[in-house]
Amino acid sequence: MNLMEVLSENIEEYLETLYKLSQEKEPVSTSSISRELKIAPASVTQMLQRLAKMGLVDYSPYKGVKLTMKGYRMAEKVIRKHRLLERFLYDILNLKQDKIHQQACEMEHALSDDAERALCQLLKQPSYCPDKNPIPPCDFKFETCNECVERKDEDLKEIGSRDENLLSLPQLEEMEKGTVSFIRGDYKFVEKMGITIGSFIKVLKKGYPIKSIEIEVNGSKIVLRKDIADNIFIITGENPGLGSS
């Protein structure tokens, strides 16, 4: 049984909230979590202490909280399911955009890994939710979406999960380096630019807001549009801004 199978909906909601708030500022304060979830600060503190014992967060009273590597992975998986469901509700069921968030919140906790995989394939491996937020990559041991499709009859338990957390290229800082581990969507298009699984990449320059990224790969400098860079995922050794566990 994997960790996602034993997490309660309440814990998943906390991890999801921490993930979103940490995109803006880290460490995340207890008060900001309290405001976001509309829960008393004392109750938030109790849950953070529980999450710390589970190894999902690094928590220090009065200093705030950070997701650990394990906590980040769990949070990202919940976010992925939520945004895939939003895409499904909007694109396939044609629900209005102002209706899909709450509906996805109610469905995400019950979505199995097999259903997540099938949903992603049905939607043609989308990169963004209807609100234009990036959909995190799956955590299954695939190098490309094409490989996932080709191995559709294999059980996910046999395929297994990645040992590392991945970052999309835009999440890397300037001068940060890493190795390409997963390419979403049209990997052949990316390969034509000289970027393949195992390529070592260094981010040279990115603007704010990010519209393009200049990278160095195999001794060549390349400028990528953000929508392409969002689909190239990197292993850096340790995700920035995360706790140690």
Q: How deeply is 115 buried, as exposed, middle or buried, from its count of CB atoms within 10 A (0-12, 13-18, 19+)?
A: middle
Q: Residue 241: how many CB atoms within 10 A of its CB? A: 14
List beta partners, residue 223.
214
Q: What is the pLDDT of residue 99?
A: 95
Examine the pLDDT at 148 and tell me if it is beyond 70: yes
Q: What is the pLDDT of residue 210?
A: 86
Stretch 91-100: mean pLDDT: 96
- End-to-end CA, the chain: 20
pLDDT digits (tens, 9 = 90+) for 164-190: 889 999 999 999 999 999 999 989 999
Tokens matching residue 149: 């499709």
Go through the domains of the chain in sequence order and give each one's CATH number: 1-136 (1.10.10.10), 167-235 (2.30.30.90)
Report pTM.
Answer: 0.88
pLDDT digits (tens, 9 = 90+) for 38-66: 999 999 999 999 999 999 999 998 889 99
DSSP state of 92: T
Tokens matching residue 82: 């939520």
Distance CA 170, CA 173 (A): 8
Average pLDDT, the chain: 91
